[in-house]
Structure formats: C-alpha cells, structure tokens
C-alpha cells in the first residue's frame, strides 16, 4: 500500500507517530508545504523562524537521501496541494500528526473532505502533546479549567503507565525511492515563498536540537534553582525545537522523568503546563480571539499608543522590562520569568490591552506557539483560566533586584546603564543616566489605577 505522510510541526524522522504508522503499512512518500495562509500573514520577510524551519528541512532532506528518498516541498494552499499530490502519487492514504490550533483544525478538516471526494483515505495521530484533551478529564468527564488538579490527574495517568514513555521507530527502509527535482538541497525556496534567509540565534535541525537536549540533561537537576535568573544558563532553550517538532514531546518527558530531583520535577511541570494550554485551546478555541473569562472582554484599557510603543522598543524607563524587550527584538528570545514580568507590566502598569502584547510576541518570538503564548498572556492579565489573581501585580523593581541582583542581564542589553551599580542600576535617576528615558508612568499610581479598574469590573 502506498501512503503519503504530511509533516508540519514534526520536522524529524525519529520518534514520529504519523511517519511510523505510514511506514509500517508500506511504501511511503513525505511532503512538507510552506503554507501560504500562514506565511502570507507574516509581515517581516526576514523572519528567522522561517529560516529555522528551512534549516530543519535541509537536514531532513539529507537524511532522506541517505535512504534513497526525498521530501516533496510545496508552497501554497494545503487544502488543494495535498489532495493534488496524493492523486498524482496514487496513494491510498494520507496521514499526519494533529495540530490543535483553530486554523489548523479547520484546514485539516477541509483536506480530509477533499481527499475523501477523491476516494483517498486520511488519518491523523496524537504526537505534539503527551496527553490530549479527552485523556485528562475530571471524574465526571468534564474539562479541567484549573491547572493544579489537571496536573495531578496528568501525573496520576503517567504513574499508572509505570512512567513508560512510548517511542515510535519508523521503518525507514519503506521510504519510497525517488528524487524530487525541486528538493530543498538543490532548489532555493526563499524567493519562491517570499522570504530571505535570516539566521536564528538557535540553529534549526535535529542535530542542534539533540545537542541542546544532551546539554540540558547535564544541568536539569539544578533547573529549579537556576531557571528564574536570566543572566544564568539555567533554562533548556528547547522550546523552539519542541515547537517545530525537531525534538518530540516524548523525548522531553523521558528526560524529565529520568531522575526524581526537584529540577526534573519542575521541568516536567513546565511540560504539563504546555499540555494544559494546548488542551484549553483545543477545548475552547474562542480564547484565540477573546478572554477565557468572558467578563474581561468588557475591560477598557486606558493605555495608548505612546505606552505600547515604548514597551515594544524597550524605552519605558524600567530597566528589567526594557532589557527583556530589547533582547526579544534583537534575538527573538525572552526568558520565561521575564515574559511574565513584561506582560504584567504592559497590562497592569501601562494599562494596555493584553491582546496587543500577545500579538507582538507572536510577531517576535522564535519559539512562538499560539497555545502557550495565549495561555501565558491570559494568565498574566488575569483573564484566563486559573489565572494570576488581578490584585497580584509584578513589581518590576522587586523582580529586577531579586532575579538580576548584580544587574548582569540589564547591563548586557542596556548599554546606557552599564556604568551604574546597585540600586542605581535597577532604579536609575535621570541625573545618573541622562541618555536613558525616565519612567514613562508612575508605578505606584498606575498600580492603584489598575486595581480600581479590575475592582470595578468585579463589581459590575
């Protein structure tokens, strides 16, 4: 039986559910589509995320050619391209791994419909998350909306399986033997898709992902102690590799469960948070466009263009916030602790709508993932499920002194402040740092304004 495996956010040959299933049934071709629906909406044609994907595909093609095969590369509308290719190859079935974003679900349903009209079967599989929404449920069958009980049930299910993590080993000998004339090694796809090569700070490809995974394995036991300090090499930097499926979620869980240290448990907790947010997006797709707590849709944020622009450019006069935003703009990276700090600051101190910040992160983050990004912003803005209570507002000065005590991170990204030390670095005065902007708003005053704004909403 001839089959076609459509890869999307699973750019690897190892531990790949859909590919494993297709190859177990017989001769298999593989295809990747540069989805015009997605790419045409990216404003920056120098987007390093596209290059990360490109690099991953180049490495994948090299592996396929070792087995006498090649990856079909296409650009366009998947609803049309997949059925057309399947018909041309005379395959019986097309298989892929599931995606839980609203657009992807709608797209995949249409692809299935179009394939069926041609008499071609289709099947999708769980691969990008460890547990799907229907697997971690309340005792009454309901969806969890609070993280801690969800986590407890997740762990209960994991322990019930004896912590046995499945691994899917594709029979690569069943790859269809062919050479595609527009393979990504011989054909430059950048002009065709309308982008320019822009090297990301983290290289794409499985080799780079595995190297990063092995490095983190050596330091994971200290993860809980180092992860909140942006000047330390204390995080895994694996999120972008997981986002594009260069590394599988099962490899992540295997590492997390390899020891019983507090660092391992803390990292597993982060993986569970990811599953939780994907479950929420899958079960409640409306969160893509609105607040999970619908009453928060009524909030009218008084912060305007001036405040938002300063936040985007790292010119708010609050060093830890500005350093984080400058790092994001320059690298597409931001430390997880600082994502919470800058999000809380935008919504609750600058009083700017959280959806604007979410959209800006979507433009800039190398590891951008709709479910996690949306979940994080809704948590910070108190509008999401199991969100941070509205009256808890990150103090940028306290966060700065606690997690960048010596100012190493601030000094790296704000050269105007490198001559300062101690409290002067965390809370600079215009006299000591004339080239650095003064605070755009008064923290205490705007904190009170935020509390009044939220309290009025609660009473209405």
Residue 185 in any domain: the answer is no
Which CATH number characterizes residue 120's domain?
3.40.50.620
Same domain as 305, residue 438:
yes
Instruction: Give dist(CA 403, CA 312) in Å, integer.
Output: 22
- CA angle, 161 as apex, 157 and 165 as ends, to 5°? 105
pLDDT at residue 459 in the model: 84
Q: Last residue of some domain: 283, 312, 333?
A: 283
Same domain as 7, residue 102:
yes
Domain range for 63: 3-126
CB 411, CB 425: distance < 8 Å: yes
**Rounded to an integer, what is the distance from CA 318 to the centroid of its chain?**
26
Residue 180 in any domain: the answer is no
Residue 181 in any domain: the answer is no
Residue 172 in any domain: the answer is no
Same domain as 136, residue 114:
no
Which CATH number characterizes residue 229's domain?
1.25.40.80
pLDDT at residue 218 in the model: 97
* This model's pTM is above 0.85: yes
pLDDT at residue 67 in the model: 96
Judged by DSSP in three states, 31 sits in strand
Same domain as 68, residue 157:
no
Instruction: Give dist(CA 63, CA 304) in Å, integer.
Output: 51
Which CATH number characterizes residue 312's domain?
1.10.579.10
Same domain as 313, residue 267:
no
What is the DSSP secondary structure assignment for residue 349, as one 8-state letter?
A: T
Determine the angle formed by the axes of helices 370-380 and 354-364, rounding to 10 degrees. 150
Q: Last residue of some domain: 76, 103, 126?
A: 126
Number of domains in the chain: 3
How many Å from the N-terminal Cα to the C-terminal Cα in the chain? 62
71 beta partners = 30
Same domain as 305, residue 437:
yes
Residue 184 in any domain: the answer is no
pLDDT per residue as tens, the chain (460 positions): 699 999 999 999 999 999 999 999 999 999 999 999 999 999 899 999 999 999 999 999 999 999 999 999 999 999 999 999 999 999 999 999 999 999 999 999 999 999 999 999 999 999 999 999 999 999 999 999 999 999 999 999 999 998 899 999 999 999 999 887 789 999 999 999 999 999 999 999 999 999 999 999 999 999 999 999 999 999 999 999 999 999 999 999 999 999 999 999 999 999 999 999 999 999 999 999 999 999 999 999 999 999 999 999 999 999 999 999 999 999 999 999 999 999 999 999 999 999 999 999 999 999 999 999 999 999 999 999 988 899 999 999 999 999 999 999 999 999 999 999 999 999 999 999 999 999 999 999 999 999 999 999 988 7
Same domain as 157, residue 56:
no
Residue 347 in any domain: the answer is yes
Same domain as 138, residue 114:
no
Instruction: Give dist(CA 94, CA 451) in Å, integer.
Output: 53
Return the closest-CA partner of residue 312 out of 375, 362, 366. Answer: 362
pLDDT at residue 386 in the model: 85
Instruction: Give dist(CA 77, CA 75) in Å, integer.
Output: 7
CB 120, CB 86: distance < 8 Å: yes
Same domain as 113, residue 48:
yes
Structural Rg of the chain based on CA atoms: 23
CB 152, CB 158: distance < 8 Å: no
Same domain as 330, residue 273:
no
CB 222, CB 262: distance < 8 Å: no
Same domain as 146, residue 24:
no
Residue 186 in any domain: the answer is no
Residue 198 in any domain: the answer is no
Q: Last residue of some domain: 257, 283, 309?
A: 283
Structure tokens at 35: 């989805």
Same domain as 115, residue 15:
yes
Instruction: Give dist(CA 99, CA 245) in Å, integer.
Output: 11
């Amino acid at each position: 039986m001839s089959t076609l495996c459509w890869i999307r956010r699973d750019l690897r040959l190892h531990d790949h559910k859909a590919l494993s299933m297709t190859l177990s049934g017989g001769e298999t071709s593989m295809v990747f589509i540069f989805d015009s629906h997605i790419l045409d909406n990216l404003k920056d044609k120098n987007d390093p995320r596209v290059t990360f994907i490109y690099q991953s595909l180049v490495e994948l093609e090299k592996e396929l050619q070792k087995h006498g095969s090649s990856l079909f590369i296409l650009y366009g509308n998947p609803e049309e391209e997949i059925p057309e290719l399947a018909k041309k190859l005379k395959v019986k079935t097309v298989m892929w791994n599931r995606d839980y974003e609203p657009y992807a679900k709608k797209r995949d349903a249409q692809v299935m419909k179009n394939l069926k009209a041609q008499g071609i079967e289709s099947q999708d599989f769980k691969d990008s998350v460890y547990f799907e929404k229907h697997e971690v449920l309340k005792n009454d069958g309901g969806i969890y909306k609070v993280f801690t009980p969800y986590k407890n049930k997740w762990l209960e299910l994991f322990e019930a399986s004896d912590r046995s993590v499945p691994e899917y080993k594709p029979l690569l000998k069943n790859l269809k033997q062919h050479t595609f004339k527009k393979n990504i090694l011989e054909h430059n796809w950048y002009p065709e898709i309308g982008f320019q090569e822009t090297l990301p700070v983290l290289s794409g490809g499985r080799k780079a992902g595995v190297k990063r995974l092995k490095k983190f394995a050596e330091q994971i036991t200290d993860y809980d102690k180092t992860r909140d300090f942006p000047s330390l090499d204390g995080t895994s930097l694996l999120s972008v590799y997981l986002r594009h499926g260069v590394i599988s979620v099962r490899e992540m869980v295997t590492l997390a469960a390899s020891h019983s240290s507090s660092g391992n448990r803390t990292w597993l907790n982060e993986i569970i948070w990811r599953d939780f947010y994907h479950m929420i997006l899958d079960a409640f797709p409306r969160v893509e466009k609105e607040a999970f707590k619908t009453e928060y849709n009524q909030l009218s944020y008084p912060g305007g263009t001036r405040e938002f622009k300063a936040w985007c450019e790292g010119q708010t006069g609050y060093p830890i916030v500005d350093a984080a935003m400058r790092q994001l703009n320059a690298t597409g990276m931001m430390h997880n602790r600082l994502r919470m700090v800058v999000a809380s600051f935008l919504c609750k101190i600058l009083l700017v709508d959280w959806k604007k910040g979410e959209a800006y992160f979507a433009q800039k983050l190398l590891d951008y993932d709709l479910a996690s990004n949306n979940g994080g912003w809704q948590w910070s803005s108190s509008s999401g499920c199991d969100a941070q209570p509205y009256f808890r507002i990150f103090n940028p000065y306290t966060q700065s002194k606690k997690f960048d005590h010596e100012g190493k991170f601030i000094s790296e990204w704000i050269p105007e402040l490198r001559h300062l030390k101690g409290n002067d670095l965390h809370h600079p005065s215009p006299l000591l740092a004339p080239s650095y902007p003064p605070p755009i708003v008064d923290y205490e005053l705007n904190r009170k304004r935020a509390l009044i704004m939220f309290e009025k909403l609660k009473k209405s």
